[in-house]
Amino acid sequence: MNQDTNERRLRRLRYGLLVFMAIALSVSLTAYYVALAPLAALDIIARWTVVFVVASGIVSALIFFGYSTYLNRRASGASGQRTEPPAPSTDT
C-alpha cells in the first residue's frame, strides 16, 4: 500500500473522529441539560460534559494513533516481501 493511500485513510479517520467529538459534545450537553436543568445543577452539567468530552477525546486519540501505527506497520511489512519467486529446489 502506498503512502498516498495511507494519508487518505488517516484524513478520513481524522474527519470521522472530529465528527464523533462534535456529536459527543452535543449529546452529552443535551442529555445532562435535559436531565438536570430542573434541579438548577448547571455546575454538574458543565463538569460531566467536560469529563465526557475529554474521555471521548482520549479514546479518539488512541484510535487515531493506533490506526496510524497499524498502517505504518502494514506498509513496512508489505515493502519487505519478496517479489521474485523462490529458487527451485535441487532435491531429487
Q: pLDDT tens-digit profile of 17-63?
A: 899 989 988 888 888 778 777 777 777 778 888 888 899 999 999 99
Please check the confidence at residue 85 and state whether its pLDDT lies above 60.
no
Task: Please state the length of the chain.
Answer: 92
Grid cell at residue 9: 485513510
The pLDDT score that the predictor gives to residue 31 is 82
Answer whether residue 1 shows pLDDT above 70.
Answer: no
Q: What pLDDT was estimated at residue 45?
A: 77
pTM: 0.68
What is the structure's pLDDT at 62? 93
CA 64 → CA 10, 17, 43, 72, 88, distances in Å?
8, 8, 31, 12, 44
